[in-house]
Structure 1
């Protein structure tokens, strides 16, 4: 190997090592900056900031509310509809049970049900549904535009199969979203997550959230 080639090879090796070092430092820093790193089990393409955002809807009492009005503590958001024959009641009951388990452990979490059925889910209909599920559950509806906007913010999907049929079914995604005041979305849960698993995971996130808040206060 001539001298030029030798030093070129050494330089390339140094660049690779330096690049790996920068990558390791960056990934370590991201992990260290993430107060929920030890709790996460899902990965969101582009980061958690890609999911969630502001919305203006109507609650089950007919009052216009924003996300800041309803997300006042750790909350679990689900998009569905009350006429759903199976999936929505089961998922909502699971979320309600997880909230009840958490309450028994000393955690306060609010389940939120956002209807994608603007034609049939009136505030009164939602109130009957949420009261059946949990005394803490908040039901939200709105205009087609408002619901579409909220759905887009949370990257959910829904499609009315036959808009002219009063008994139509609605295709929709079934993830539940854990959100915090000011922070927003932090984690999602699939349908196969049990109430106990959800409670354990949410408890981890709430503990980390509270610890970060205490650390921030002590630093002031």
Structure 2
């Protein structure tokens, strides 16, 4: 398990460690929030949305964030590619590392077809997850996943566009090992930036690859 400069334990994405006493509550909360999102927006949206007939309604929208190398990226940066978006944070002890590992395996299973897609991991904890931290974290999981951070206002705007819930829970003002409750769903966007599908984060890599693959061009 890695530690930040102040000595606070930070989750290792390969190990998926964390506080076991918080695990059942977090999994239950993440599952409940995900179920509500999926029920409200629908697991798979009509292909007509990809063609722009339904506009950009449901989820997704403009964002401005910072890549690990310091460059500014926006939603327009990725136009022309399918976009797979996941929100979480690097200190997450369970749901995030598991989901990202399954994302990476799903993209590997898709092979060359995954070249048409950019996977991004957006932090909901910008206070600890700097662009450099995000880069180190995602590179340890897969070079196919781009970690993005930003100012608290930029993160809030991106989360709002995707209807992402998140809330910081500190035991005190100096608590550096605080938890962040957040919704856990994968958002698939078309090359034109229109919403295509909500993919449950608890899908295994095979099911995730199948859910993503039906929207990608044939090899």
| TM-score normalised by L of structure 2 | 0.70
Higher relative contact order (CA 8 A, sep 6+): 2
How far residue 191 of structure 1 moved from its aligned partner, in angstroms, is 2.5
How far residue 71 of structure 1 moved from its aligned partner, in angstroms, is 4.9
Q: What are the superposed Cα offsets for residues 192-220 of structure 1, whole Å, 9 maximum, x if unpaired?
A: 3121111112111113xx8xxxxxxxxxx
1:88 aligns with 2:102: no
Deviation >3 Å, runs of 4+? none
Q: In structure 2, list runs of 5 or more residues that go unmatched.
A: 1-44
CA distance in 2, matches of 1:193, 1:141: 25
How far residue 133 of structure 1 moved from its aligned partner, in angstroms, is 1.1
Residues 177-216 of structure 1: pairs in structure 2 closer than 5 A: 177-207=187-217
Match of 1:111 among 119, 123, 146: 119
Structure 2 partner of 1:161: 169
Aligned length: 168
How far residue 47 of structure 1 moved from its aligned partner, in angstroms, is 9.1
142 and 84 in structure 1: CA distance in 2 versus 1, 3 angstrom threshold: same
Structure 2 partner of 1:59: 67
CA distance in 1, matches of 2:62, 2:121: 16
Determine which structure has the larger helix proportion and give its number: 1
| TM-score normalised by L of structure 1 | 0.70
CA distance in 2, matches of 1:198, 1:47: 25
CA distance in 2, matches of 1:183, 1:110: 12
110 and 184 in structure 1: CA distance in 2 versus 1, 3 angstrom threshold: same
Q: What are the superposed Cα offsets for residues 6-43 of structure 1, whole Å, 9 maximum, x if unpaired?
A: xxxxxxxxxxxxxxxxxxxxxxxx97x7277xxxxxxx
Structure 2 partner of 1:141: 149
What RMSD in Å do the two structures reach over aligned CA positions? 2.4
Structure 2 partner of 1:27: none
138 and 172 in structure 1: CA distance in 2 versus 1, 3 angstrom threshold: same
Q: What are the superposed Cα offsets for residues 145-195 of structure 1, whole Å, 9 maximum, x if unpaired?
A: 110010010001000001731110000000011112214221011133121
How far residue 127 of structure 1 moved from its aligned partner, in angstroms, is 0.8
Q: In structure 1, list runs of 5 or more residues that go unmatched.
A: 1-29, 37-45, 211-220
